[in-house]
Structure 1
Amino acid sequence: MKKLICIVLVTITSIANAQSILPQSATDIAPLLIGEKVPNTVLKSSDNSDVKIVDEIKKKKTVLVFYRGGWCPYCNQHLAALAEAEQQILDLGYQIIAISPDSPENLKITEEKDKVKYTLLSDSKGELAKAFGIVFEAPENYKPIINVHSKGENKTFLPVPSVFVLNKESEIEFEFITPDFKHRITNDLLIAVLKTLK
């Protein structure tokens, strides 16, 4: 009996450890697929309020953007480009929500710097990004940066830059995931996709 209990405990521990191990590179991730639903997770707004992501998605069809952080120049370019296309996106019946591991305080800095009016949310523990299957072990040279920008909440992971288009039932209708963080979806392609889905 003791031997059986020991085997069960070892098995449970092994499964738990396997689930907590992050993919080693951006190309090793296993993201959610089109048709799957967004898990309900509580994130933080730039004013440090709790936000249930599924409640926000119920309000309006959503362009959900995951970015590495306000410290990343490629992310800032992408956020600024989305700000330029925001009115077109709104006119097509969508809202934009962008999520990073940055702390709420750092979201405010990004809002001002990139002239962002759409919603930025903090996923500093990576709960939503992990549930989406888009996180990986950050290279060592990034760990001090992500630690500072998440106010110590994130010391290990980076999200792969991604764009998901969601209906109000939180189902994924389109996704664009770019393991090479220097490449992002263009506004022209995103607008074309939204027009097709409409």
Structure 2
Amino acid sequence: MKKLFFIVLVAITAVTNAQNAIPKFATDIAPLLIGEKIPNIILKTSENTDVQISDLLKKKKTVLVIYRGGWCPYCNLHLQALAEAEKEILDLGYQIIAVSPDAPANLKITEEKDKVKYTLLSDSKAEFIKAVGVAFEAPENYKSTINVHSNGVNTSLLPVPSVFIVNPESDIVFEYISADFKQRITTELLVSVLKTFK
């Protein structure tokens, strides 16, 4: 009996460790799937105040964007494109929330630079990107950049850029995730998808 108990304990520990391990490469992530819930993590606003993500999600249907940071030119182009399509997205009954490892002060810079009016949130501790399953070990040449832009809180993790469509109950109804950070969903395709859920 003790031997069986030991085997079960080892198996549970191995599974837990596998789930907690951060992938080395963007291609190895295991993101949440359609039908699963966005975890309720506390993030920070650009004003450096705490906010529970579920409190924001329950207000209305949400386009939830996870991006690498305001230092990433591909992310900036994506955020700008979303800003340009924001009125159409709002008219369809959605809000836009974008999360990155950037510290709150750096979110303000991104808001101004990319003319963003929608909500930007800070996940400096990388708790949210880990919980959603899109975190991976950043290549060495990115670590100093991440460190600086998270104000020293995050020294090694990057998110795979992702877009989730989430209902007010925090359920994922659509997702677009590409391990190639240069590939983003176009706003045209995103709007088309949003219309199907209207």
Once residues 135 and 29 of structure 2 are traced to their aligned partners in structure 1, the CA distance between those partners, rounded to angstroms, is 7
| Cα gap change, 1:171 to 1:11, in 2 (>3 Å) | closer
Give the match for residue 146 of structure 1. 146
- Correspondence for 2:126: 126
**Alignment: residue pair count:** 196
In the alignment, is residue 178 of structure 1 matched against residue 178 of structure 2?
Answer: yes
Q: Secondary structure at the match of 1:124?
A: coil
Q: 1:156, 1:114 → 2: CA distance?
A: 25
Query: Within 1, Cα distance between the matches of 2:101 and 2:134?
Result: 12
Q: In structure 2, what is the equivalent of residue 167 of structure 1? A: 167
Q: TM-score, normalised by structure 2?
A: 0.92
Partners of 2:75 and 2:109 in 1: CA distance: 14
Counterpart check, 1:34 vs 2:47: no
Residue 11 of structure 1 and its aligned partner are, at CA, apart by 7.9
Q: Letter of the 1:117 partner, please give it.
A: K
Q: Cα offset for 1:128?
A: 1.1
What is the alpha-carbon distance in structure 2 between the residues aligned to residue 15 and residue 174 of structure 1?
27
Q: Percent identity?
A: 72
How many angstroms apart in 2 are the aligned matches of 1:189 and 1:8? 47
Q: Which residue of 1 aligns with 2:106?
A: 106
Gaps of 5+ in 1: 1-5
Runs of 4+ in 1 over 2 A off after TM superposition: 6-21
Name structure 2 gaps, 5 residues minimum. 1-5
Give the CA deviation at 1:21. Answer: 2.4
What secondary structure sits across from 1:121 in the alignment? strand
2:92 is aligned with 1:92: yes
Q: Alpha-carbon deviations, 1:105-142, whole Å to 9, x = none?
A: 00000000000000000001111111110011000000
CA distance in 2, matches of 1:20, 1:51: 24
Q: Hey, what's the Cα distance between the residues in 2 that align with 1:10 and 1:145? A: 38
- CA RMSD in angstroms, aligned pairs only: 2.0
- What is aligned with 2:3? none
